[in-house]
Structure 1
Amino acid sequence: MMPSPTLTQAAVDTTLMHSEAAEGGAAVARFLSHNRAALQRLGARLKAQPPRAVITVARGSSDHAATYGKYLIETFAGVPTSTAAMSVSSIYAAPLVAADTLCIAISQSGRSPDLLASVEAHRKAGAYVVALVNDEESPLAALADVLLPLKAGPEKSVAATKSYITSLAALAAITAAWSGDRDLSEGLSALPGLLDKAFALDWSAALPVLTDARNLFVIGRGYGFAVAQEAALKLKETCALHAEAFSSAEIRHGPMAIVNDGFPILAFASSDTAGDGVREVAVEFADRGAAVLLANPEGGIPGTTHLPALSAVSALEPILQIASFYRLANSLSLARGLNPDSPPHLNKVTKTV
């Protein structure tokens, strides 16, 4: 059983993870302001010369952001989007066919050798490269046809938070500029203020369930699957808690067999049809006696523990929910006797080959 120290608000508020995650709204505002003209130009180019496919290049939290981008681009622009297997370039040096494709590279540091090798290979094969990167002086920035600096500011905690939030917003902004969707564009304008409100939401009702937990499932679907992936990673990274992310559709296969009385479930439900699937699974698991923690803008559901969530444009609701989750993860890490800013065996910049 993990130690469960009594937390003071001062202890919770003084971690780097807390202070950096709290800056998510300000970071998104900086990104949107700084990149407004570049986004308009990129949107015009993509409308005039639609790529036949989109390839994302990323690892870790950035790759989870890419999952979000996949759902956005395929639903709003209808263009097939997939993730690059970086070892194809960095280890096997295999030739690529990438003419008339859009390559979106996402990174906080922009310095991992395998990411750079993959982006360079796609660029040489004819891809148009867009870089979402926090370090504007990085090698990745120099490779890009279009550089969209994340403008998240210094991020010193090992756990990426505001850079992830800004990456999600950046992908939504690219999609809005490309598709011309008015609701998505207007939703982005309101996003910084909503992020501040989302971070202030109280998810402490999850602490009694998770403080002594050893395993759990994290569930999302559609746009929300990306934040389920990210939450599972952060629970492993900052809380030493084994968590696996599943789509609410995929979990109905083999994983469902191990959900029984008391098994923890963290579920992210949006207000759209994809969220309906999450809510249905949450009810089913609650009926089995599972300890279901449900983030749901539609309110509480009997048998589950309600985690408050804001309503917005449904495609943007997962960004708000991950902001609320980061505050919970910070508190949970401390409750489990850990330091969320410095997880064991991890470095801020991971340079894989």
Structure 2
Amino acid sequence: MSREAAQAAEVVAGQFARNREVVEALAASLRAAPPPFVVTCARGSSDHAATYAKYLFETQLGIVTASASPSVGSVYEAPLRLEGALFLAISQSGKSPDLLRNAEAARAAGARVVALVNVEDSPLAALADWVLPLHAGPERSVAATKSYLASLAAVLQLGASWSQRPDLVDALARLPDALREAWHCDWSAACDGLVAARNLFVLGRGMGLGVAQEAALKFKETCGLHAEAYSSAEVKHGPMALVGPGFPVLILAQPDETEAGTVALAREFRACGAQVWLAARQAPADAGIALPVADAPHPACAPLLLAQSFYRMANALSLARGYDPDRPPHLNKVTETV
């Protein structure tokens, strides 16, 4: 897990170069015939990448993006009205039967199917109209790291090319170096504090919500630690009642319009006696233990940097708690659901 996560900067740089032509061609087709909406379809870490796609496309392109439940198409076999829509299927293996059935149904319904896959000769890639390879290379750890970051990067490159926003396009060239910086951010304070934990919240918001979801999954998967992810807005609609003295909370602040509210929430949790770790550009002393963050070339790049710093800490925490981060119990690298 550690070695594979550390490769992310090189993976992303290579992906941007190798996918440039196909991304530009796809983006041009989307500008020429704009889809009425975007639908994502994925599971696990790939679905957390889909959460990122939702916020990126909605904030940078103004196009409504919704998540399709795979079971609607695969189990219920309910036809959906997707004429003209962009159907974005995200999968590392491209083999899961439920995603394949949904992609087939979407294409039959008149949607443009785009597959983000790490296995270029997969069944999902074969039936898609467009394929954006992740180019992450072999990933042997069950816990996805570089392939997750490659999924975010593919979404980011497509969003930048589609929107033609100069600030977003310019940020792509600087992202690999920022990922290298993020890998060396020292989050050992969180690792040390969570060795004996049994439960925690992971909070994010907006474009950073998907990374909070991914972090919570990795805590469960690699550390045997029950973690729940919430939007820093949604957590106040009930879950915050669980928080008391010593309750651990990891807060990932997205450096955009949501940042001030997220930092204010960290202060609220600290006032309740919670044990708070705050990853933010500036973490006030009364908002918890500060975790350093890499400088993001654009707010849309920040989720990738936060995930990269988190992965190094999660690997260390897994080992400290006596787990093997590469071989979680009961799990396989390729999950095929119906």
TM-score, normalised relative to structure 1: 0.94
Match for residue 3 of structure 1?
none
Q: Any idea what the Cα deviations from partners look like across 1:245-301, whole Å, max 9, x if unmatched?
A: 001100111111111110000000022111222111111101221110111122453
Q: Any idea what the Cα deviations from partners look like across 1:49-100, whole Å, max 9, x if unmatched?
A: 1100101010000000000000000111111111111112111222221111
SS state at 1:51 partner: coil
AA aligned opposite 1:234: K
* Counterpart pick for 2:146 among 145, 155, 162: 162
CA distance in 2, matches of 1:92, 1:256: 35
Match for residue 331 of structure 1?
316
CA distance in 1, matches of 2:15, 2:163: 19
Match for residue 318 of structure 1?
303
CA distance in 2, matches of 1:96, 1:248: 32
CA distance in 2, matches of 1:270, 1:104: 24
Match for residue 348 of structure 1?
333
* Counterpart pick for 1:268 among 247, 252, 257: 252
Match for residue 125 of structure 2?
141
CA distance in 2, matches of 1:153, 1:207: 28
Q: Any idea what the Cα deviations from partners look like across 1:32-52, whole Å, max 9, x if unmatched?
A: 011001111111111111100
Which blocks of at least 5 consecutive residues in structure 1 are unaligned?
Answer: 1-16
Is residue 230 of structure 2 the alignment partner of residue 246 of structure 1?
A: yes
Is residue 109 of structure 2 the alignment partner of residue 125 of structure 1?
A: yes
Q: Any idea what the Cα deviations from partners look like across 1:192-240, whole Å, max 9, x if unmatched?
A: 1110110111110112220000000000000110100000000000001
Match for residue 218 of structure 2?
234
Match for residue 86 of structure 1?
70
- The answer as to whether partners of 2:5 and 2:308 remain within 8 angstroms in 1 is yes
* Counterpart pick for 1:153 among 137, 145, 165: 137
AA aligned opposite 1:158: V
Q: CA RMSD in A?
A: 0.9
- The answer as to whether partners of 2:222 and 2:324 remain within 8 angstroms in 1 is yes
Which blocks of at least 5 consecutive residues in structure 2 are unaligned?
Answer: none
Match for residue 208 of structure 1?
192
AA aligned opposite 2:107: R
CA distance in 2, matches of 1:226, 1:300: 24
Match for residue 7 of structure 2?
23
Match for residue 90 of structure 2?
106
- The answer as to whether partners of 2:42 and 2:90 remain within 8 angstroms in 1 is yes
The offset of 1:311, in angstroms, is: 2.3
- The answer as to whether partners of 2:143 and 2:221 remain within 8 angstroms in 1 is yes
* Further displaced range: 200-209 or 296-305: 296-305
Match for residue 281 of structure 1?
265
- The answer as to whether partners of 2:204 and 2:232 remain within 8 angstroms in 1 is yes
CA distance in 2, matches of 1:271, 1:119: 34
Is residue 51 of structure 2 the alignment partner of residue 67 of structure 1?
A: yes
- The answer as to whether partners of 2:112 and 2:129 remain within 8 angstroms in 1 is yes
The offset of 1:302, in angstroms, is: 3.0
Mark the CA change 1:49 to 1:303 in structure 2 (over 3 Å): closer, same or farther.
Answer: closer
The offset of 1:137, in angstroms, is: 1.0
CA distance in 1, matches of 2:311, 2:326: 12
- Superposition misfits of 4+ residues, deviation over 4 angstroms: none
TM-score, normalised relative to structure 2: 0.98
- The answer as to whether partners of 1:210 and 1:332 remain within 8 angstroms in 2 is yes
AA aligned opposite 2:97: P
Is residue 196 of structure 2 the alignment partner of residue 223 of structure 1?
A: no
> Quick one: percent identity of the two aligned structures?
57
AA aligned opposite 1:349: V
AA aligned opposite 1:143: L
